[in-house]
Amino acid sequence: MKPVEWRIEYLKEGEWLVFDKYLTDFYGTDLDRYNVVHPASELECEGLRINMTLEPGCRVGILDIDLTTLP
């Protein structure tokens, strides 16, 4: 099973905002593959979260999250 949809939000100054993704990126839901999403522009934030909409009785897992941070 797979999520119906998913999206990323970021926390900035206490508010969760929509993560603007790079023009050619999309929130894929294909099984057993990496879904890569890049920000549309450089992003500074206090946190990230992933929101998923699942079908009833569906269970999903996250295999890996790879973040690049600046010093």
What is d(CA 45, CA 33) in angstroms, rounded to the nearest whole number? 27
> Mind listing the pLDDT tens digit for each residue in 17-27?
999 999 899 99
Q: What is the mean pLDDT of residues 10-34?
A: 91
> Mind listing the pLDDT tens digit for each residue in 50-64?
999 998 988 888 888
Does the pLDDT value for residue 9 go beyond 90? yes
Long-range interactions of 30-37: CB distance < 8 A, separation 24+: 30/2, 31/2, 34/63, 34/64, 37/8
Does the pLDDT value for residue 35 go beyond 90? no
Residue whose structure tokens are 């009833």: 56
Q: What is the pLDDT of residue 10?
A: 95
